Structure 1
């Protein structure tokens, strides 16, 4: 049974989400503040975290940043903040998805299912990639540069896997969004920009002039290996 950790300081929303998730067969733990969330992740290792940004003790972005120092658990951010810069910041820090309040319960459940698939599904892994600058082992989810391990998030691995299955070929923005985030996505090109930039900073010898993760403006991305 998959474990979902819900982190929100609104008691009514915590109860509503817990009831809905348990009705779908998930085990649910709820906490109301950031420090409790970090402790729960350390103790329980949930399969997905639902994280509100407006917490009473720590800002949700700070919680996410601390979480990413030790864990790659999929994180769905909940927030009443609608500005695109807030979404980009959350994604840049390591969120896997961003849901704006208010939201429909069916949409929320679909996001949870997609996050769980990203975090733990058994998939046909692409062959390992060896380049002059980095090595990628998709089966073991290890990335190294000169023997040093580079930490990639689950979503970064999934994005690379989609591209690595079609090396040198254009993968459209829509196809990438569908395969990485799920069929409910197709217009969130800002997600792709954020994750492509993160991967370039981590893997490319010169992130400002990418050699491996190449953008076809307005079209999609290519993985040149």
Structure 2
């Protein structure tokens, strides 16, 4: 993966006044921001600007934010934060299913967005400062190169998927509630309606060949949370 510039944010937002406000606020806090206002120019801007993170509105002229999200995710695993005016849980799930790592609901509070971006930055630790790998039979999770291997197959994970898998695997055999997971991953408490953890767990199961109807690798403990089974990967 190409080394992307630290602190560079691509902001895709059709409301130019809001975009200017966000860009000004983030610039004051040390970010370099490039703003575009149409979905059909977002990918070209991404390739040219090489941001560290993308902040993406869902409702855009030219192409939808979901389409842009899928385009970027097809070629990069950098964090994507979606902006949505909808509080509908389904809207958030669609964004996460399209490859987004996080979301912020409009009207946007710039300090909240800043906190989310800084949290994502903290997860993007330079590879030479991170060491360690977890091995569970055929499954190897290598944090030094952020690579996951299942036997001879390299599993392609987004930033958030990798962090969630590392969190679960680091606590192998221990039950983690959704509250635990969200507090560690995003610094916020599970509100009872947020389904993002369930979405990411489902995506991980699919990529790791875990049976979604009767999962044995990442188990659901109903009403309590999730448990990573350290013995499921043995040959």
> Aligned Cα RMSD in Å?
1.9
Cα deviation for residue 125 of structure 1 reads 5.4
- Quote the Cα distance in structure 2 between the aligned partners of 1:205 and 1:25: 42
- Quote the Cα distance in structure 2 between the aligned partners of 1:121 and 1:173: 28
Do the aligned partners of 1:47 and 1:119 also contact (CA within 8 Å) in 2? no
Partner in structure 1 of residue 3 of structure 2: none
Tell me, what secondary structure is at the counterpart of 2:17?
A: helix
Tell me, what secondary structure is at the counterpart of 1:69?
A: helix
2:113 is matched with which residue: 108, 128, 131? 108
1:199 is matched with which residue: 204, 207, 212? 204
Partner in structure 2 of residue 143 of structure 1: 148
Partner in structure 2 of residue 128 of structure 1: 134
- Quote the Cα distance in structure 1 between the aligned partners of 2:213 and 2:122: 32
Partner in structure 2 of residue 166 of structure 1: 171
1:90 paired with 2:95, answer yes
Range with greater deviation from structure 2 (97-106 or 140-149): 140-149
Tell me, what secondary structure is at the counterpart of 2:195?
A: helix
Do the aligned partners of 1:126 and 1:165 also contact (CA within 8 Å) in 2? no
Gaps of 5+ in 1: none
Gaps of 5+ in 2: 1-5, 231-235
Do the aligned partners of 1:167 and 1:223 also contact (CA within 8 Å) in 2? yes
Do the aligned partners of 2:58 and 2:82 also contact (CA within 8 Å) in 1? yes
Tell me, what secondary structure is at the counterpart of 1:128?
A: strand
Partner in structure 1 of residue 59 of structure 2: 54
Range with greater deviation from structure 2 (67-76 or 99-108): 99-108
Partner in structure 1 of residue 227 of structure 2: 222
1:8 is matched with which residue: 13, 16, 40? 13
Do the aligned partners of 1:76 and 1:115 also contact (CA within 8 Å) in 2? no
Cα deviation for residue 50 of structure 1 reads 0.4
Cα deviation for residue 105 of structure 1 reads 1.8
Do the aligned partners of 2:178 and 2:190 also contact (CA within 8 Å) in 1? yes
2:185 is matched with which residue: 149, 161, 180? 180
Range with greater deviation from structure 2 (28-37 or 141-150): 141-150
Do the aligned partners of 2:89 and 2:194 also contact (CA within 8 Å) in 1? no
Do the aligned partners of 1:156 and 1:195 also contact (CA within 8 Å) in 2? yes
Do the aligned partners of 2:210 and 2:217 also contact (CA within 8 Å) in 1? no
Distance 1:107 1:205, change over 3 A: closer
Tell me, what secondary structure is at the counterpart of 1:57?
A: coil
Cα deviation for residue 127 of structure 1 reads 2.7
- Quote the Cα distance in structure 2 between the aligned partners of 1:219 and 1:211: 16
Query: TM-score, length-normalised on structure 2?
Result: 0.87
Cα deviation for residue 213 of structure 1 reads 0.8
